[in-house]
Amino acid sequence: MAKLILLWLKCVVLWAIVEAVFEDQVGKFDWRQQYVGKVRFSHFDTHVQSSKKVLVATERNVFAALNTRTGELFWRHVDKTGSEGNIDALLQHGQDAVLVVGNGRLLRSWEINVGGLNWEVVLDSGSFQSACLVGQQDMVKHVAVLKKTAISVHYLSNGHQKWIENLPETETVDYQAVYSDGNGEVYVLGVVPHSHIAIVVYSMEDGEIIKQVNMSVEAPWLYNIQASCVVVGQGMLTCVDSAGVSFYMLDLHLQLQMTQVPLQSLALEVDPGFHPVLLSHQPNPARQPLSEFFLQLGPDHYQLLQLNNGQIAAMRDFKPALLVSFATTGEKTVAAVMSPKNKTVSKCEIERSLPSRPVFSSRAFLHIACSVNLFSAETGRRLLDTTLIVNMDPNGGKPEKLYVQAFLKKDDSVGYRAMVQTEDHTLTFIQQPGRVMWTREEALSDVVTMEMVDLPLTGTQAELEGEFGKKADGLMSMVMKRLSSQLILLQAWIGHLWKLFYDARKPRSQVKNDVTIENLSRDEFNLQKMMVMVTASGKLFGIDSKTGGILWRHYLHNVPPNAAFKLMVQRTTAHFPHPPQCTLLIKDKDTGLGTLHVFNPIFGKKSHVTPPALPQPILQSLMLPLMDQDYAKVLLLVDDQYKVSAFPSTKNVLQQLQEMAASIFFYLVDSSQGRLSGYRLRTDLSTEQIWEVIIPPEVQKIVSVKGKRPNEHVHSQGRVMGDRSVLYKYLNPNLLAVVTESTDLHQERSFIGILLIDGVTGRIIHEAIQRKARGPVHVVHSENWVVYEYWSTKSRRNEFSVIELYEGMELYNSTVFSSLDRPHAPQVLQQSYIFPSSISTMEATLTEKGITSRHLLIGLPSGGILSLPKMFLDPRRPEIVSEQSREENLIPYAPELLIRTEWFINYNQTVSRVRGIYTAPSGLESTCLVVAYGLDIYQTRVYPSKQFDVLKDDYDYMLISSVLFALFFATMISKRLAEVKLLNRAWR
């Protein structure tokens, strides 16, 4: 029976008209951008001189190799999210890269040329402290990993453990660092906070303790070795104490006593309130570190120092200097220093930073251009011709890290390229004398929310549109206006032709269709839009949806790290000459305090409109369809006193609000108390609670509340049944789908619930409980249906369930829907299916008029985005096929939904960690624009009912025209023949 069903299904699937990608459409209207996230560790691959790789390990648990020439990915490995995939350390030796992952849980070695795994071993539990490569006689063969209570040494070749030793006296000593310089000993450095330093020396061969020093080295000022100490020169542990303003030095080989060197004796002075930081460099783990090191004395003040025979000597002072870095090539080591080029503070910069709270870090960066210079590490002398100019993006953040790739030129001098990482997660790779080779906007790896905004019309288009908008003022002037606009169109067309002709003569490589903000304009089908993306780091982007080019970027300083964002389009481009306007609500999740950022979505510029200050925590924000006299939609903000404020809040708006107040309802969700409450606006802009639903938080918690999308259109009011009667849909625009999960997670008792509530009256339309099921639940709520996906603990599989609501065979009030006047409860149909994969996110396609059939776009963990026709999720799918169901085109019920790779809209362009899918209608009814974002960004178009309103790409013009001509000539010939025949007959 099952086989039969399967066969049936296969038949059905084969015959069902589904959309898919054709091979020749690849890259035609879709693009993908791959990101890695904010870089935490980075190493240039130096084991081959000509290598083009830079390894990056990021805060989003990604390990990747980038091409230093183009900035593209060679390969990328995406680990689990969260702390279990967290990369603790990256060590590189030759063509192996060793990673410590998941707080010291795993040790992995990657082959960096292929991007394959060499080995992976599980380490004993214990929180990770530090790791280093251990060399012996110039050969690096081991890696040492220090945990809170134990140290283990592993072979680099296969990951096998050479030895593991428990650390002595772990109750009192906090071991923090491990160090080795190739003499066959491993030094473990620990500290008893505010008391003394403990040092344990292990033999590399067998893990035997050679020497143990405790109690004798007093260091009452020290509590964090890694933050304040480095090993310099011939094993000299050098620490800096900010309170005592002095160096402390300890010879690790002798371990006698810490010697104190006051910074004043070197004529050094620490900026007030700054914790000095040391930076040393160990080019080869089998050799000793350099005896030169940097001391950072202030936010823009560095000092190069040298340790010589136990004496510290100052070599060179760098002020102002933003960042410093060491780099080694061959036997030469250089120090790169990045300093601001000019200290002139442009006026706009100040203006921009004024509204934000004045924080020290944001004020420190007001320099627009910086320069990087190389200095010889041994002498501190500046190397000639090594200046590199870095032009900082005025809309970006300040530089944070500097990575330098040094190489030897043919004349044995040192050349270099620099990779600069800025606060806004941007990586810029720069070559001398300042040519930017590539830029990666890694902030885009963490897109939180986005909107698509129509592009503005061009001047000529606006002219034409304007003609229809104006009032008629006489026949003659209308004719003149029409003629003039036609003339303008003709002119534009000739100009276009001329450009085509001109471009055709040029070689193809020179013709560049560079899209800039200036030449942006809407295309005839409105397929090209501006994607406004908001990232977690607080950087906003404007991306051209056609090419994926970043047209503008704007970094918002002082965005709290755990902020929630809500982006709203207040005014579209349709209201020329008023500029389009977007408003971003940034809310601190802890305090609930919000700020508004108002900007122009086409140019990214901050608007002149000053948003209201929000002194109270914000509970809810809602966009009303009301507009002020400047066509900006009204945004209502509800604060924790249940007071409502409007933005913009002109007299006109307030008057409109007063008139409309009786019909403005909103709801609030308090998931911690399980409270769902509905409010009504009063004319004095206060609120009044009209309903409340309590879901006991001890039993179940509210995980999501989904309304319908406001820009959704439903074309047909009902469905025609097999017997020609009509089943009317229950199209309640105020319906909310509330999903709850049980707090009891035991697999026998856990359940999920779904509640359909009318947002105006609080009436519960429907309630469903799925027993033996747990989240995460993904919900899509649209038209008259709700689709949700959950994990069935009983059968250990993912299941889809669909709820459809119908009014019945008669419509109560077909002209307008009112929640307050709907006496009949809707009919509810539900059906469930098995889905053979877990899912990451789900969204439904959206088209302009809602005529096109709907598809569900499902982001899978494998990176595919499945376009599943909604007709597979239809609770009216019959178990037994009847004449009527066939008439209605219903697919017979089959328990399992299939995943066909032909339905992947992104073919092999996988999107890692899909977080959201954004759908937007285009000017064509058949076409829906789709953007999937997560670690990657993928943009494409889908045609859920195929392209019924435009000629297809493969339209055979040749065939049609040849047939037409053939028919034409055939008619002519046959006519002639008929004439001859008639004539003959006449003669007969």
> What are the residue ranges of helices labelled H in 199-262?
225-228
* Chain position carrying tokens 């060590």: 91
* Two tokens, residue 584: 């971003």
> Is residue 728 within 8 Å of residue 808, measured between CB atoms?
yes
CA-to-CA separations, 215 to 200, 210, 418, in angstroms, rounded: 12, 17, 44
Is position 77 an interface residue for other proteins (rule: CB under 8 A)? yes
Minimal distance, residue 31 CB to other proteins, in Å: 16
Nearer to other proteins, 111 or 670 (CB): 111
Q: What does the alpha-carbon distance between residue 504 and residue 490 come to, in Å, rounded to a whole number?
A: 21
Residue of the chain from 111, 206, 269, 640 that contacts other proteins (CB under 8 A): 111
Nearer to other proteins, 359 or 970 (CB): 970
> Is residue 942 within 8 Å of residue 927, measured between CB atoms?
yes
Minimal distance, residue 79 CB to other proteins, in Å: 6
Q: What does the alpha-carbon distance between residue 652 and residue 629 come to, in Å, rounded to a whole number?
A: 7
Minimal distance, residue 625 CB to other proteins, in Å: 40
Nearer to other proteins, 59 or 174 (CB): 59
* Two tokens, residue 976: 């002639």
Torsions phi, psi of 464, nearest 5? -65, -45
Stretch that binds other proteins, among 70-78, 578-586, 677-685, 851-859 (CB under 8 A): 70-78
CA-to-CA separations, 480 to 464, 467, 472, 789, in angstroms, rounded: 13, 11, 12, 61
Q: Please name the residues in contact with 393: beta carbons below 8 A apart, sequence gap of 6 or more.
A: 422, 426, 553, 555
Nearer to other proteins, 512 or 988 (CB): 988
Minimal distance, residue 116 CB to other proteins, in Å: 4
Q: What does the alpha-carbon distance between residue 227 and residue 682 come to, in Å, rounded to a whole number?
A: 58
How many residues form the binding site for other proteins (CB under 8 A)?
64
Residue of the chain from 837, 871, 916, 947 that contacts other proteins (CB under 8 A): 837
Residue of the chain from 675, 862, 877, 888 that contacts other proteins (CB under 8 A): 862
Torsions phi, psi of 967, nearest 5? -65, -40
**In 10 A of CB 474, how many CB atoms?**
8
Nearer to other proteins, 122 or 479 (CB): 122
Q: Residue 697: which of 657, 760, 743 has the closest Cα?
A: 743
- The torsion defined by the Cα of 805, 807, 811 and 813, in degrees rounded to 10, comes to -80
Residue of the chain from 861, 950, 962, 965 that contacts other proteins (CB under 8 A): 861
* Angle between helix 475-505 and helix 459-469 axes, rounded to 10 deg: 160
Residues 865-924 that bind other proteins (CB under 8 A): 895-896, 901-902, 904, 907-910, 913
Residues 699-758 that bind other proteins (CB under 8 A): 747
Nearer to other proteins, 785 or 835 (CB): 835
* Chain position carrying tokens 């080694």: 328
Nearer to other proteins, 656 or 909 (CB): 909
Residue of the chain from 482, 715, 824, 976 that contacts other proteins (CB under 8 A): 976
Stretch that binds other proteins, among 19-27, 244-252, 397-405, 461-469 (CB under 8 A): 19-27
Minimal distance, residue 57 CB to other proteins, in Å: 14
Is position 108 an interface residue for other proteins (rule: CB under 8 A)? yes
Is position 7 an interface residue for other proteins (rule: CB under 8 A)? no
Q: Residue 372: which of 340, 349, 345, 347 has the closest Cα?
A: 340
- Residue type (1 letter), 889: N
Q: Please name the residues in contact with 484: beta carbons below 8 A apart, sequence gap of 6 or more.
A: none
Residue of the chain from 10, 28, 69, 80 that contacts other proteins (CB under 8 A): 80
- Residue type (1 letter), 698: E
- Give the per-residue SS3 of 358-397: CCHHHHHCCCCEEEEEEEECCCCCECCCCCEEEECCCCCC
**Per-residue x/- track, 944-963, other proteins (CB under 8 A):** ----------x-x--xx--x
> What are the residue ranges of helices labelled H in 48-108?
none
Nearer to other proteins, 68 or 353 (CB): 68
Stretch that binds other proteins, among 101-109, 252-260, 272-280, 698-706 (CB under 8 A): 101-109
Minimal distance, residue 797 CB to other proteins, in Å: 5
Q: What does the alpha-carbon distance between residue 305 and residue 856 come to, in Å, rounded to a whole number?
A: 63
Is position 468 an interface residue for other proteins (rule: CB under 8 A)? no
Is position 975 an interface residue for other proteins (rule: CB under 8 A)? yes
Residue of the chain from 11, 12, 122, 359 that contacts other proteins (CB under 8 A): 122
Q: Which residues bind other proteins (CB under 8 A)?
A: 2, 20-24, 74-75, 77-81, 84-85, 105-106, 108, 111, 114-120, 122, 747, 795-797, 834, 836-838, 840, 861-863, 895-896, 901-902, 904, 907-910, 913, 954, 956, 959-960, 963, 967, 971-972, 975-976, 980, 983-984, 987-988
